[in-house]
């Protein structure tokens, strides 16, 4: 599909980042880090949703002390987010974190930056240089006449130069901005300038759905160019939503092995025999916690549904108050409309265990096809080819315009 950019490989705890290793998903806890149990609860929920690496704020001594208790009990590596005090970075390393995030716009004294990098070098702990458009070093803002991609890249390169002065190179970089084209431009420039692994994100993307759209536009565009080694959705939402979105984006782009259902559904139209939105939502809910790596279709009518979703492992299409189940486009069973979602779940579990061929072999497909053909014919009879009444509308338009 595209060639992945070659980067150096580092490791955040047990998770490799960069090189040819899988692109990882990150998120950040929203609890007070001093609240050890609350933070761990959120970390476990994030890990279950597909998060590979989690970041916790380390803004005060209590947070660092919390990290000392959280790190040994966390199922995934922990990165400490350092704000303005370099001593918190030293404290977080003492607590045992697997990585740090430093914002060059916040910690500016070269001796502080080098003190942190020296300690990280000695402890073999990677650091992300996390440039943020909103908190760019004011001198760079002035030099570049405002926030530009070049200014953000220069900020990252300056920080990297300090790190290299003390022989520290366990680095990854992010240049996040809330403006999507600006963020994309900055990452492209950075990808040309260095081979360190890149952490992608659109900062302050906002609440869903707008935040999801912005983050997906920026992160997805770069991933499709082969840029990016680890990603984070920054949403104004429960962080579990961030982890889910990150995982789903990687799965949709074929960059991560699918572990959950890929639910596809038709957009519905005048031919729909059911409330497609309702059935699709109920199906999503029913499959949410099931680890079934299958593509499952919910289609509004049996006239076009089975054909349009013939690539899906399993699907259901409505017709004449009945649900027509199909496996790889082959009609396999007819169920009452009220049992559509339950039947999908039952068939999905069977397919996951035995495969699609076994599912087709266990039923009389000829009978199911006859039933589907009967409903299809009846629907075509009732609604004709033009279920959306486009013909009638065109006649009306011509009459209106002609008047
Ligand atoms: S024709 Fe049928 S399958 Fe296609 S959008 Fe309309 S209801 Fe859905």
The predicted structure's pLDDT at residue 392: 80
Torsion of CA 207, 210, 213, 219, to 10 degrees: -50
Q: Name the H helices within 86-226.
A: 86-95, 110-123, 138-143, 149-165, 180-193, 210-224
Q: Ligand 1 within 6 A of 304 CB?
A: yes
Pocket perturbation via mutation, ligand 1, pick of 264, 267, 269, 279 by most ligand atoms within 8 A of CB: 269
Nearest residue (by CA) to ligand 1, atom 5, is: 268
Q: How confident is the model at residue 288 (pLDDT cuts 50, 70, 90)?
A: confident
Q: What is the CATH number of domain 262-383?
A: 3.30.413.10
Pocket perturbation via mutation, ligand 1, pick of 270, 299, 307, 382 by most ligand atoms within 8 A of CB: 299
57-66, 85-94, 303-312: the lowest-pLDDT one: 303-312
The predicted structure's pLDDT at residue 270: 85
Nearest residue (by CA) to ligand 1, atom 3, is: 305
Could you give phi then psi for residue 336, rounded to 5 degrees? -60, 150
Q: What is the CATH number of domain 10-252?
A: 3.20.20.20
Q: What is the mean pLDDT of residues 47-59?
A: 96
Q: What is the pTM of this model?
A: 0.87
Using a pLDDT cut of 90, give the percent of the chain over it: 84
**Nearest in space to 116 (alpha carbons), one of 84, 138, 140:** 84
Q: How confident is the model at residue 396 (pLDDT cuts 50, 70, 90)?
A: confident
**Domain ranges for the chain:** 10-252, 262-383
Q: Ligand 1 within 6 A of 301 CB?
A: yes
Q: How confident is the model at residue 165 (pLDDT cuts 50, 70, 90)?
A: very high
The predicted structure's pLDDT at residue 251: 93
71-85, 143-157, 319-333: the lowest-pLDDT one: 319-333
Q: Ligand 1 within 6 A of 315 CB?
A: no
More confident residue, 318 or 217: 217
What Å distances lie between residue 115 and 12, 100, 350, 388, CA to CA? 20, 13, 58, 69
């Amino acid at each position: 599909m595209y060639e992945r950019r070659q980067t150096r490989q580092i490791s955040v705890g047990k998770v490799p980042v960069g090189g040819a290793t899988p692109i990882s998903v990150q998120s950040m806890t929203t609890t007070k880090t001093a609240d050890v149990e609350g933070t761990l609860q959120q970390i476990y929920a994030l890990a279950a949703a597909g998060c590979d690496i989690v970041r916790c704020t380390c803004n005060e001594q209590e947070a660092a002390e919390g990290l000392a208790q959280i790190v040994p009990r966390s199922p995934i590596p922990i990165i400490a987010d350092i704000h303005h005090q370099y001593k918190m970075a030293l404290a977080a390393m003492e607590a045992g974190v697997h990585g740090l995030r430093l914002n060059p716009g916040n910690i500016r004294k070269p001796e502080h930056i080098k003190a942190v990098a020296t300690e990280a070098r000695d402890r073999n702990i990677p650091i992300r240089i996390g440039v943020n458009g909103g908190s760019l070093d004011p001198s760079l803002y002035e030099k570049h006449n405002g926030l530009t991609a070049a200014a953000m890249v220069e900020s990252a390169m300056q920080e990297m130069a300090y790190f290299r002065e003390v022989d520290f190179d366990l680095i990854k970089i992010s240049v996040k901005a809330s403006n999507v084209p600006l963020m994309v431009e900055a990452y492209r420039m950075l990808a040309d300038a260095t081979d360190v692994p890149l952490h992608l994100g659109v900062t302050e993307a906002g609440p869903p759905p707008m935040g999801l759209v912005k983050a997906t536009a920026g992160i997805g565009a770069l991933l499709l160019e082969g840029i990016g080694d680890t990603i984070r959705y920054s949403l104004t939402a429960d962080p579990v939503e961030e982890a889910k979105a990150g995982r789903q984006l990687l799965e949709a782009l074929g960059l991560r092995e699918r572990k959950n259902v890929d639910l596809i559904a038709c957009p519905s139209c005048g031919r729909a025999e059911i409330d497609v939105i309702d059935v699709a939502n109920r199906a999503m809910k029913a499959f949410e916690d099931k680890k079934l790596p299958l593509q499952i279709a919910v289609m509004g009518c049996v006239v076009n549904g089975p054909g349009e979703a013939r690539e899906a492992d399993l699907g259901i299409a409505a017709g004449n108050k009945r649900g027509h189940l199909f496996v790889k486009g082959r009609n396999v069973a007819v169920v009452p409309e009220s049992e559509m979602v339950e039947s999908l779940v039952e068939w999905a579990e069977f397919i996951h265990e035995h495969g699609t061929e076994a599912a087709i072999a266990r039923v009389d497909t000829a009978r199911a096809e006859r039933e589907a053909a009967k409903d299809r014919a009846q629907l075509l009879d009732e609604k004709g080819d033009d279920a959306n009444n486009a013909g009638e509308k065109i006649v009306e338009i011509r009459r209106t315009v002609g008047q």
